[in-house]
A = this chain, B = another copy of it.
Amino acid sequence: MKMPAILAFDVFGTVVDWHGSIRREAEAMMPGIDGSAFANAWRAGYKPAMAQVSSGQLGWTRIDDLHRGILDRILPEFGRELAPAQREQLNLAWHRLAPWPDAVDGLAQLKSRFTIVTLSNGNLSLLANMAKHAKLPWDLILSAEVFRHYKPDPEAYLGVAGVFGVQPEDVMLVATHEDDLEAAQRCGLQTAYVHRPAEYGPQPKAVGDLARFDIVAADFIDLHDRLRSR
């Protein structure tokens, strides 16, 4: 198989540990809350909110605003009240997510051989603040915001190839989400699944048949080794 020129990374869950970071910030702001359940509830509202945008039911809306709407909805479900300034501070926790332990070193290794970019549904300022905070060495931050289409719309995946003027097969999507990789595959991109078993907390997440992806890697260091040995 042809070596890709561009590695495009899903971010939430693949590069950064949203569950652990949101849990910690929620528990710090709201003592006694079940931070793990809160993080998962917040994240669970994400796909339905994006689907409203993709279907045209909702105009183009940034993840920051979608996150805030979900937060406002779930706080009462957890029996909590927060002042607007506190809600805003908590909402920005998504700009401060911590990388998985291998992520920064792994990206630095991969950057020496490939162009490494984000392909995230997160908005540009969220991704830029996250990269600054976590020292993520992206060559280019690409977002659904640039293409005005959320993944899994084809425009997002094909947009990466378009920006670089290459064929879809010259781009490899790196993600820990099978549905994201499947959508990329349908657009002709290469695919790498990365295991992030603790994405939703200590209970390892269910995983399907991964043999349909071009590479399956334990983490970014392993991804680098597997790409080198192809």
Contact = CB atoms under 8 A, between A and B. Distances in A.
A119 to B, nearest CB: 13
Contact of A115 (B64, B117, B132, B165): B132
B128 A139 contact: yes
Nearest to A164: B125
B125 A132 contact: no
A73 to B, nearest CB: 21
A168 B19 CA distance: 34
A29 interface: no
A1 interface: no
B64 A124 contact: no
A140 interface: yes
A154 B164 CA distance: 26
A215 interface: no
A163 interface: yes
A41 interface: no
Contacts of A131: 139-140
Q: Which of A117, A124, A165 gathers the greatest number of chain B CB atoms within 10 Å?
A: A124
A141 interface: yes
Nearest to A116: B132
Contact of A132 (B128, B139, B141, B142): B139
A102 B16 CA distance: 34
Contacts of A128: 115, 117, 139-140
A163 B115 contact: no
A33 interface: no
A51 interface: no
A108 interface: no
Interface of A: 64, 111, 115, 117, 123-125, 127-129, 131-132, 139-142, 145-146, 163-165
7 contacts: A117-B128, A123-B163, A124-B146, A125-B140, A125-B165, A140-B141, A145-B163
Closest 8 CB pairs of A and B: A128-B140, A125-B164, A128-B139, A124-B163, A132-B139, A125-B163, A146-B146, A140-B141
